[in-house]
Amino acid sequence: MQSLKILLLGAAIGSASVLPASASSSAWYNSEGGKVRLVTSGKADEAGRIQGVLDIALKPGWKTYWRDPGDAGVPPQLDVSASTNIADATLSFPAPQRHDDGYGKWAGYNYPVSLPVVFKLSAAKDSAVIDADVFLGICETICIPVQTRLTVDPGSDPDNADDAALVKASFAALPAPARSDFGINVLPGDHETLVVEANFPGDPDAADFFVAGERDYMFGAPSRSEKDGKLIFTVPILDRPSATPTDGGLHYTLTSSAGAVEGLLPFP
């Protein structure tokens, strides 16, 4: 989003207000384009995992980003290294929308959104306090970075029904795992192009494909074509690592009028 300049306004960030916390959630951090908080389910499971959400309440007309923000955006980031008995935190993302600001296309949300997160305890049976440094961009005609630390004591109200319901609903809203009749097949491409064949139910005009530029990959917006009755997405590879990674893959989301699925595709 080249038109949405990132304003590193220390005064604007510093003046954002913090509203009182309730139960197993953090205080709201209030900024110009909306507010953000952390909410947890309160209890760790037997494996020492706590489910939660990064709850982003955008004001009308404001937007925020998916895991891949395009070439000039700010993806949501969560750093829990200052926490007590928290080893790491993994964010997940509901299906995004494709946006076009006239300068470029990017993936994100133009409505309030809750990003599911799983906190992994260092010691499964010990208590924990989450001190999470949050950084994300929220945008109207300009982008303003939201940067704050959110604190949650998950054990302070472990049976809070409202918090548990929000967390449960947010995880339920995530894309389903990809499957043979709703997913993608990678087709032969080249060093500068990723090509996938999409399989999905519903209206072809409503289908879209999102791939996250991670591990030093950067992708452009996909183009659509049809081959043998199949929808093909061709994605420009704008940048890539000097050596192709051999572990893991790239996150993708495929959407259609019937819903959304996600999965990993091999590094091109």
| pLDDT tens digits, one per residue of 231-259 | 999 999 999 999 999 999 999 999 999 99
Written as six digits, the tokens of 21 are 């916390």
- Amino acid occupying residue 155: G
Average pLDDT over residues 128-151: 92
Q: Could you tell me the pLDDT band of residue 14, with boundaries at 50, 70 and 90?
A: very low
Backbone Cα Rg of the chain: 19
- What is the signed CA dihedral for 267, 219, 56, 23, rounded to 10 degrees? 10
96-134 pLDDT tens trace? 999 877 766 789 999 999 999 999 999 988 999 999 999
pTM above 0.85, yes or no: yes
We find that the CATH architecture of domain 29-174 is: Sandwich (2.60)
Number of continuous H segments (helices) and E segments (strands) in the chain: 2, 21
Class of domain 177-265: mainly beta
pLDDT greater than 50 at residue 169: yes
Q: Could you tell me the pLDDT band of residue 74, with boundaries at 50, 70 and 90?
A: confident
Q: Which pLDDT score is estimated for 100?
A: 79
Q: Which pLDDT score is estimated for 156?
A: 84
What's the rounded Cα separation, in Å, for the pair 176 and 199? 14
Q: Which pLDDT score is estimated for 62?
A: 93
Written as six digits, the tokens of 202 are 């519903």
**DSSP three-state, residue 161:** helix
CA 174 to chain centre: 10
Q: Could you tell me the pLDDT band of residue 9, with boundaries at 50, 70 and 90?
A: very low
In sequence order, what DSSP letters do the residues of 87-143 get, joined into one string? EEEEE-----EEEE-SS-EEEEESS-EEEEEEEEESSTTS--BEEEEEEEEEESSSE
pLDDT greater than 90 at residue 171: yes
Mean pLDDT of the chain: 88
In sequence order, what DSSP letters do the residues of 157-190 get, joined into one string? STT-HHHHHHHHHHHHTSPEEPBTTBEEEEEEEE
Task: Out of 1-10, 18-27, 63-72, 170-179, pick the least confident.
Answer: 1-10
Written as six digits, the tokens of 214 are 């991670």
CA 178 to chain centre: 17
Residues 6+ apart with CB under 8 A from 71: 1, 2, 104, 218, 238
What stretch(es) of the chain map to CATH 2.60.40? 29-174, 177-265
Q: Which pLDDT score is estimated for 104?
A: 67
